[in-house]
Structure 1
Amino acid sequence: MTESERTPTPVDKIAEAWVDDVAELFPTIATYIGRDEYNDRYGDLSPAGADAAAARARARLDELRAATPVDAIDEVTKLDLAGQLELELETYEAGAHLRDLNVIASPAQDVRSAFDLMPTATSDDWEVIAKRLAALPGALDGYIQTLRAGIASGVVPARRQVTEVITQIARYSADDGFFATFVGESSPAEGQLPASLAGHLSDAADGARTAYDKLAEFLRSELAPVASEHDGVGRELYSLFSRQFLGATIDLDETYEWGLEELDRMIAEQQAVANEIKPGASVEEAIAFLEADPARRLHGTAALQEWMQSTADRAIADLGATHFDIPEPVRRIECMIAPTQEGGIYYTGPTDDFSRPGRMWWSVPEGVEDFDTWRELTTVYHEGVPGHHLQIAQAVYNRGELNAWRRLLAGTSGHAEGWALYAERLMEQLGYLDDPADRLGMLDGQRMRAARVVLDIGVHLGKPRPAGWAHLGDGGEKWDADFALEFMRHNVNMSDAFVQFEVNRYLGWPGQAPSYKVGQRIWEQLRDDYKAAQGDTFDIKQFHKRALDLGGVGLDTLRMALLPTGGR
């Protein structure tokens, strides 16, 4: 999108080739980044597909190791892509794909969610959708083969994840579930679908529902009886997942102790703000006071969507005039109500040409009709600007320096989510959370993220229950799922259904939840170290631009690029 583009180097060409590999091997990822040529299919989710992906990664890694960087941009690309490929191969060798089933980010959800980002404006678009729907049963058959191979080798997910996914599938395949509703509401802008296409879509949707029911039956009858009773994955596997989500190696035991300290700090800060809202009030009393204020409440998803959009647009206009250089294509974001009701708020990046803009999605659980603006203002900043949208869309825009891999695929949860939490605190520092109620909402989220650092590491490493919280639960000595649920209930102010989903997510997606707060910690350390190195010439606007222009990278790579002589 910039006027001049970088002449590709040998390292760039290898990275671009890996993007092509990923698009071909994983068409749902291609859909996510706007590569539409594979929208009519799925990748091979069988063991053979995993073998082929590993072979391709190994070949690209060999090419990359033999390539010589020609400049600093190449050095970052080589370091980060090599690290990612090595981790992917390490994860493959560990057999992680054989147990890849959880409540939020596994093929069980990815196969369905591919449709959320597919174009639907024309009959031709719906022809493509019909083809992918028709390919869905084969994709799930391959997935079942992989999970069966896991059973045969004793590599299985936790039973809790299996039973929860069965419940999710029931919502996908119901008569009023996703597939029936999605196809039933098909209506291109040009008018009615041709009768033959409408019939094809209906038949393919029925086939997709049947395929998901088949997956549910496999999970119920074959996988659940042999699934693990233990939610924790152990230190070795957890360390691998932690490195994947952060792009950095951390001391897990030190991080656990830091998480406990950070949680205490968040609780103290919340209490101070609660006293501002209502003198003498506890945090719970301040929240009850705010929840009773109709001026701080929205009713219905239409009102929520309108408020999200206006808030995001205002932040872009304000910050683009003062604290950030925001290119014109990045100034557009679409706020969406997700087509599912599973809970959660998330961001999807723009396509490479910005024909599909970045989008903020809100998956509203069934029955939830009211939303507290004081609680969610910081969420809009987290997902929009200066959070994920600025971060991810800025990388997509930076075609002048970054190859397609750096723009569209590189990065880790620690980089992305750490930046988004950093952005929340930045908005407080810039005065956008001066209202104590809005600040309490931000702290509510920060407290939750601190709590799950402790919970995630505690459960998966089987740590002793922290002394300050040992009164919760059944009096056991170590972290387990029941204690984790009680711990979260005491550290978030959300519906119990939300808390239960969140805890199940942490139990099934090891290492991801801590990457938010740990990533924030590393971003803040980097800013402080960069400021110390720059001395009187430090300019925070310049720091933000330089950091974001790198695109998504692992946090160890980010440190190397910003502080090539070291740092803390």
Structure 2
Amino acid sequence: MSSDDTPTARAATPIDAVAERWVDTLVDLDPLWATWLGREGRTGEYGDTTPAGHDAYIAAVRATLDELRATPPADSVDRVTRNDLEASLALDIEYDEQRLHLRDLNVIASPAQGLRDVFDLMPTATETDWADIASRLTALPAAVDGYIETLRLGIEEHVVPAKRQVEAVAEQCARNAGPEGFFRKLAHDASADSGEPLSGELLERLRAGSDASRAAYQRLEAFLRDELLPVAGDADGVGREAYALHSRRFLGATVDLDETYEWGLEEVARMAAEQAAIAEQIEPGASVARAIELLDADPARQLDGADALREWMQGLSDRAVAELGATHFDIPDSIRTLECRIAPTHDGGIYYTAPSDDLVRPGRMWWSVPVGVTRFTTWRETTTVYHEGVPGHHLQLGQAAVNRATLNTYRRSIAGTSGHAEGWALYAERLMDELGYLGEPGDRLGMLDGQRMRAARVVIDIGAHLGKEFPGCESMPAGGVWDHEKALAYMLDNVNMDEAFVRFEIDRYLGWPGQAPSYKVGQRIWEDLRAERARREGGSFSLRRFHSEALALGGVGLDTLRTALLGDTE
């Protein structure tokens, strides 16, 4: 059933006040948070990306941590807030002590991408919206130059990223700065959503900002190639000490990395066996490769054109919202709208952006269609719609926004980890299989295809960064330490993807330690929590109640989630 019910209003506490001030501090230090949260003001600015800006951030972290520790919790909601915020702030200090911000460069989620990515979230409905975009384009060169200054300090302190990441990001900069790149297209295609032309003065500002931003990315590319690359690290792995920090950052939990690696190997083998069984159902005697060939060739599973893709996504999403809202979840009317869109970029990914804190901007599922791709198959992506939409990210992040009466802004919109969010989304995929939504063999094979990839990432990521011995795979014998070549071979043997995409994935894992495993490890923790609750409650266990209680917490680290749901410790 649908519901407009919101929790009974809870009086704000001193802990809530600390958390709210922390959010205000984040927005003040980095106005990109204002765009993410949907806050008015400062939406045309960047924060200080220089080393001095980082020092100001760490000073704010220490002050907030001291204040938080001196403030007693008033209730159970406060205890969750304090535990989670304290863990996050303390980890920031550990990162600073290892100077890891000085090597913050990778192919997917570093300032090199984030300074541009923010434009994807900026509204374009009115001239005022486009004026904000023009202002941010004008401010971008200083932000890029500050980032270069930070990386230069890394060179001085001998804290540098790996050569592979530097080379790849330099190529990304060249594309963004090119004549057909993002910034040129942004200014060229500018118009209000209504289709009304923008004023000549505003168009001139947009074009000038576009040119300045292209020049800034050209400077960044030159710095990367000429200054950073010659001194960048030869090794892709970051080592056990740094990796442990990254793992905790993305999980919000401490796990036994060696045990998790062995579990990952077991998961890969289990997924492969499940896929083989499904292939037999699709065609007796068929290999997994043969089953995939049949699915890809099936006209009933094909979509022609991006418009057809978007309509298919929207229809599947709408059905999930309607049906799950009547059975296993309480879905408020305010988040029953999920927009499916084709992204303005062409990287090939599918991703979700949360609703604004005031729920004016709805949650959105985006498909970044590669240039030249016009035909799509549905069997792989049915599970992806559930992952990104309902019961995945949209239900999780949208529900947090709904709980304004109970949760402070930090808990609703900022707290949480990849392990919590992506672990939930993978849990949601398996749940949809349990509920019969992936009963058709092709759709189930698609789910297993993705789950096997996530399990392989656990093995590759931990193995490569911790320097473990390579276990071998179909195309490469065991022996030696994990490296890029071995990671590529292992991944290609365990996924059905274009090699160019797999190469990017490997670069992503090597440059963003701990993030890729957080999906599957997070799923493991979510499933373990559900199993333990069911064991403790016996016949009184309610799946719907478990989901409601878990999602009502908002974003938290997985250690905080365990404490809140099981009550094992304070």
Report the TM-score when normalising by structure 2: 0.97
Render the CA deviation track for 1:85-141: whole Å, top value 9, x for unaligned. Answer: 001111122111100000100000000011111111111111111111000000000
Q: How many angstroms apart in 1 are the aligned matches of 2:38 and 2:265?
A: 41
How do 1:273-284 and structure 2 match up within 5 A?
Answer: 273-284=278-289
Which of these residues, 89, 92, 113, is aligned with residue 88 of structure 1? 92
Q: Give 1:34's aligned residue.
A: 38
Give the C-alpha shift of residue 300 in structure 1: 2.0
C-alpha displacement of 1:534 = 1.3
1:329 equivalent in alignment to 2:324: no
* 1:295 partnered with 2:313: no
State the alpha-carbon separation in 1 of the partners of residues 366 and 31 from structure 2.
Answer: 21
| 1:505 aligned residue | 508
Cα offsets for 1:199-223 (capped at 9, x unmatched): 1110111000010011000001001
For residue 120 of structure 2, what is the aligned residue in structure 1? 116
Assess if the C-alpha contact under 8 Å between 1:419 and 1:523 holds in 2: yes
Amino acid at match of 1:510: P
Report which stretch shifted further, 363-372 or 516-525: 363-372
CA distance in 1, matches of 2:8, 2:180: 50
Distance in 1 (alpha carbons) for counterparts of 2:40 and 2:226? 37
Alignment of 1:343 onto 2:362: no
User: How far apart are 1:171 and its partner, in Å?
Assistant: 1.8
1:177 aligns with 2:184: no
* SS, match of residue 371 in structure 1: strand
Residue 177 of structure 1, CA deviation = 1.1
* Matching residue of 1:543: 546
Matches within 5 A, 1:546-565: 546-565=549-568
Task: Give 1:389 shift.
Answer: 0.4
Cα shift at 1:436: 0.4
3-state SS in 1 of match to 2:82:
helix
Question: Which stretch shows the higher mean deviation, 117-126 or 383-392?
Answer: 117-126
Q: Taking structure 1 as reference, are residues 489 and 303 closer, same or farther at Cα in structure 2, changes over 3 Å only?
A: same
Question: In the alignment, what sits opposite 1:237?
Answer: 242
AA aligned opposite 1:347: Y
Q: Is the 8 A contact 2:282 2:291 kept in 1?
A: yes
- The DSSP-based 3-state class of the residue aligned with 2:159 is coil
Taking a change above 3 Å as real, the CA distance of residues 253 and 3 of structure 1, as seen in their structure-2 partners, is: closer
User: Counterpart amino acid of 1:225?
Assistant: P
Partners in 2 of 1:148 and 1:174 — Cα distance?
Answer: 24
Note the C-alpha offset of 1:345. 1.5
Q: Give 1:286's aligned residue.
A: 291
Q: Does 1:362 align with 2:367?
A: yes
Q: Which amino acid aligns with 1:535?
A: G
Judge which range, 185-194 or 376-385, deviates more. Answer: 185-194
Does structure 1 retain, via aligned residues, the 8 Å contact 2:8–2:406? Answer: no
Q: How does 1:60-209 map to 2 (within 5 A)?
A: 60-188=64-192, 189=194, 191-209=196-214
- Maintained 8 Å contact 2:340/2:365: yes
Unaligned runs of 5+ in 1: none
Cα pair 2:400 2:551 within 8 Å, conserved: yes
Superimposed CA distance per residue, residues 360-390 of structure 1 (whole angstroms, 9 cap, x where no aligned partner): 1112222322221001000000000000000
Residue number in structure 2 paired with 1:404? 409
Paired amino acid for 2:258: D
RMSD between aligned residues: 1.4
Paired residues for 1:306-321 under 5 Å: 306-321=311-326
Identify the match of residue 427 of structure 2 among 417, 422, 425. Answer: 422
Structure-2 separation of matches of 1:285 and 1:474: 24
Of all paired residues, the percent bearing the same amino acid is 61
Aligned residue for 1:479? 482
Contact 2:7 2:403 in 1 (8 A): no
- The alpha-carbon deviation at position 475 of structure 1 amounts to 6.8
Separation (CA, whole Å) in 2 of partners of 1:475 and 1:350: 46
Deviation of the 1:552 alpha carbon:
0.8
Whole-Å Cα distance in 1 between the matches of residues 370 and 175 of structure 2?
A: 12
State the shift of 1:355 in Å. Answer: 0.8
Q: Name the SS for the 2:404 alignment partner.
A: coil
Q: Is the Cα contact below 8 Å between 2:470 and 2:478 reproduced in 1?
A: no
Q: Distance in 2 between matches of 1:301 and 1:92?
A: 44
Paired residues, number = 565
Moved more, 134-143 or 316-325: 316-325
Q: Is the Cα contact below 8 Å between 1:23 and 1:35 reproduced in 2? A: no
1:450 paired to 2:455: yes
Give unpaired runs (5+ residues) of structure 2.
none
In structure 1, which of residues 20, 23, 27 is the aligned counterpart of residue 24 of structure 2?
20
**Structure 1, 392-401 or 165-174: larger mean CA deviation:** 165-174
* Matched residue, 2:378: 373
Q: Contact 2:475–2:493 at 8 Å: present in 1 too? A: no
Question: 1:566 deviation in Å?
Answer: 5.9
Q: 2:443 aligns with which of 435, 438, 441?
A: 438
1:6–1:399 Cα contact (<8 Å) kept: no
User: Could you list the runs of 4 or more consecutive aligned residues of structure 1 that deviate by over 6 angstroms after TM superposition?
Assistant: none
Cα distance per residue 1:18-70 (max 9 Å; x no partner): 11111111212221121231211001111011100010011000000000001
Query: Take 2:236 and 2:219, find their aligned partners in 1: how far apart are those partners?
Result: 25
Q: How far, CA to CA, are the matches of 1:252 and 1:40 in structure 2?
A: 42
Tell me how far apart the structure 2 counterparts of residues 438 and 72 of structure 1 sit (CA, whole Å).
41
Alignment check: 8 A CA contact 2:383 2:446 kept: yes
The answer to whether the 8 A contact 1:309-1:334 is kept is yes
Task: Tell me whether 1:219 sits opposite 2:224 in the alignment.
Answer: yes
Deviation (angstroms), 1:144: 0.1
TM-superposed CA distance for 1:292, in Å, is 1.1
| Equivalent residues in 2 for 1:372-391, closer than 5 Å | 372-391=377-396
Counterpart amino acid of residue 11 in structure 2:
T
SS in 2 for 1:155: coil
Matched residues in 1 for 2:479 and 2:50: separation?
40
- TM-score computed with the length of structure 1 as normaliser: 0.98
Per the TM alignment, residue 353 of structure 1 is displaced from its structure 2 partner at its CA by 1.2
Distance 2:157 2:144 in 1: 20
How far apart are 1:565 and its partner, in Å? 2.9
Residue 27 of structure 2 aligns with an amino acid whose one-letter code is: A
**Equivalent AA in structure 2 for residue 226 of structure 1:** V
Instruction: Describe the SS at the equivalent of 2:364.
Output: strand
TM-fit CA distance, 1:347: 1.0
